[in-house]
Amino acid sequence: MSLDYFHDETFRNDYTFRNSPRAIKRFPFPFPEDDYMYSVNMEPHVPGRPGSVFEHTFDVDEHYVSEMRDRAQVLAQDPLRCQSLPHMTLAGWDLLELIMESFARDYPQWFSLTKDGNHWHWINRPLNIDQKFTFLDDTTLPCGPMEYITRQAQGDFTLQDQRDDTLWIEAGMVTTQADWSLDFDIGMSFHEWHAPVPVAHELGVFDRALKFLLALQHGAPVRRFNWTMTVDPLLDTSPENYPKWGPGKTTLTPENIGARQHLRVELQTLFRLPRSNAIVFPIRCYLISFQDLVTQPKWARRLHRVVRGLPEELATYKGFIRNRPLMLEYLSQFDDGQPTSPGW
Ligand code: HEM
């Protein structure tokens, strides 16, 4: 595929973001059932069907170039969206290696990595980058290794150090988040940063998830889905910028909800890193408008039922309790009451 594959689009102001018919078809619809409740929904991150978002270790899609431009804009306004405590630099190199090797292997038409010992040559054609550097030598890159590579990779990334039988969030690049703040959370432990989540603690979800993650092995990554709702195709729904995007939630109407309400799906993966023993948590965000989603009848039916049955605490935490009646009114038109089958 040539460089024409990438859209020139915006995730702010005039919102020119659009999914092509192909992107709609491969959208990672996250609901295997008509009901939703928090669970330890992790599975091995193994290659999936060709063309699906699971085909490769990291999915590079038609929004790549524009998402990277949006990230650069967020960072220019708020450099604290990217932070790395001093002991996390080695984990940053581990991450750089993982992304460069994966991209070059899976998308050789766009990326290449050549190595002569520790002398590496990285070419990123879509972003027009050609960089020679010395692996593990911080002075040879224009910025730290985590920042360098995550300015070139879609989705947010956090790096967790493991000690005292827990994980500590101690570095990250977070510009496309669902209303949480790296600057607030940095230095917290697994249970501390998850404290605001309702219901899941009582169900033991976080105790079990942490136990699982502490035993995560290098070379055996896992994945899970998370989801929420976003009005307008906005990547940066951060608490820092809440005054800019929060009020938009009060302007939905029956006429504009199909175009403006988006299902926001996060494909979250977890990898143990080889040198630092840290865990990287890439959080890849996919947006789809309701009007595009309902072109797939089984998704429309199921989303209606999930939104209708979602416990109030979850709809409140996810920030759409106010608009739930409008969503149900819209989605109910596409639910014929037929049973749905388990799975996607
Ligand atoms: C929410 C980070 C792994 C389950 C969150 C939030 C953050 C976060 C920052 C938002 C909390 C807030 O409201 O401020 C992370 C990081 C992880 C990780 C850095 C990697 C180590 C997991 C795993 C699970 C999980 C393995 C598996 C059960 C959840 C759930 C929510 C949540 C259920 C609520 C999401 C929602 O309803 O939208 N996580 N998480 N997390 N996390 Fe994690």
Q: How far is ligand 1, taken at its centre, from the CA of residue 145, in Å?
A: 25
* Rounded distance between C-alpha atoms, residue 222 and residue 216, angstroms: 8
Ligand 1, atom 1: closest residue by C-alpha: 194
Which residue has the CA at smallest separation from atom 26 of ligand 1? 209
Query: Atom of ligand 1 at shortest distance to CA of 172?
Result: 19
Structural domain contains residue 266? yes
What are the tens digits of pLDDT across the range 80-131?
Answer: 999 999 999 999 999 999 999 999 999 999 999 999 999 999 999 999 999 9
SS3 sequence, 178-209? ECCCHHHHCCCEHHHHCCCCCCCCCCCHHHHH
Report the residue among 194, 268, 318 best suited for mutation to probe ligand 1: largest number of ligand atoms under 8 A from its CB.
194
Output the DSSP codes for 298-329. HHHHHHHHHHHHS-HHHHHHTT-TTTHHHHHH
Q: How far is the CA of 197 from the centre of ligand 1 (A)?
A: 8
Q: Which amino acid is at 293?
A: L
How many whole angstroms from 190 Cα to the centroid of ligand 1?
Answer: 9
| Residue labelled with tokens 């998370």 | 226
Query: Among 343, 233, 344, 227, which Cα is nearest to 288's?
Result: 233
261 C-beta neighbours (distance < 10 Å), count: 24
User: Residues 123, 111: contact at Cβ < 8 Å?
Assistant: yes
Return phi, psi of residue 222, to 5°: -130, 170
Q: For a pocket test of ligand 1, which of 197, 229, 273 has the largest count of ligand atoms closer than 8 A to its C-beta?
A: 197
187 φ, ψ (degrees, to nearest 5) = 95, -5
Return the pLDDT at 198. Answer: 98
* Average pLDDT of every residue of the chain: 97
- What is residue 221's three-state secondary structure? coil
How far apart CA 186 and CA 220 sit, in angstroms, is 26
Is the ipTM here above 0.95?
A: yes
250-309 tens-digit pLDDT: 999 999 999 999 999 999 999 999 999 999 999 999 999 999 999 999 999 999 999 999
36-77 residue pLDDT tens: 999 999 999 999 999 999 999 999 999 999 999 999 999 999
Residue 328 within any structural domain of the chain: yes
Distance 163 CA to ligand 1 centre (A): 19
In a domain, 341, yes or no: no
Residue of the nearest CA to atom 6 in ligand 1? 194
Domain count, the chain: 1
Q: Which domain holds residue 184?
A: 3-332
How many whole angstroms from 80 Cα to the centroid of ligand 1? 20
What amino acid positions are annotated as catalytic residues?
224
Report yes or no on 220 lying in a domain: yes
The answer to whether the CB of 331 falls within 8 A of the CB of 304 is yes
User: Quick check: helix, strand or coil at residue 127?
Assistant: coil
Q: Whose CA is nearest to atom 27 of ligand 1?
A: 40
CA max distance for the chain:
62
Of all atoms in ligand 1, which is nearest to the CA of residue 160? 21
The residue-averaged pLDDT of 222-234 equals: 98
User: How far does the centroid of ligand 1 lie from the alpha carbon of residue 194, in Å?
Assistant: 6
Q: Quick one: what percent of the chain has pLDDT higher than 90? A: 97
Q: Over 80: is that where the pLDDT of 342 sits?
A: no
Q: In Å, how far are 309, 310, 316, 318 from 313, measured between CA atoms?
A: 12, 8, 5, 9
- Kindly state whether residue 303 falls inside one of the protein's structural domains: yes
343 within a domain of the structure (yes/no):
no
Note the pLDDT of residue 1: 64
Q: Specify if 179 maps to a domain.
A: yes
Ligand 1 pocket (Cβ < 6 Å) reads: 38, 40, 158, 160, 167, 169, 180, 185, 193-194, 196-197, 200, 205, 209, 213, 224, 226, 228, 279, 281, 317-318
For residue 167, give the ligand 1 atom closest to its CA. 21
DSSP state of 2: -
Residue 9 has pLDDT above 70, yes or no: yes
Distance 193 CA to ligand 1 centre (A): 8
- Look up residue 78 and give its two tokens: 């708020």
Q: Return the pLDDT at 343.
A: 75
**Shortest-distance Cα residue to atom 20 of ligand 1:** 281
Instruction: Give the model's pLDDT for residue 134.
Output: 98
Dihedral angle of Cα 303, 307, 313, 318, to the nearest 10 degrees: 60
Whether residue 74 lies inside any domain: the answer is: yes
Tens of pLDDT, residue by residue over 145-199, are 999 999 999 999 999 999 999 999 999 999 999 999 999 999 999 999 999 999 9
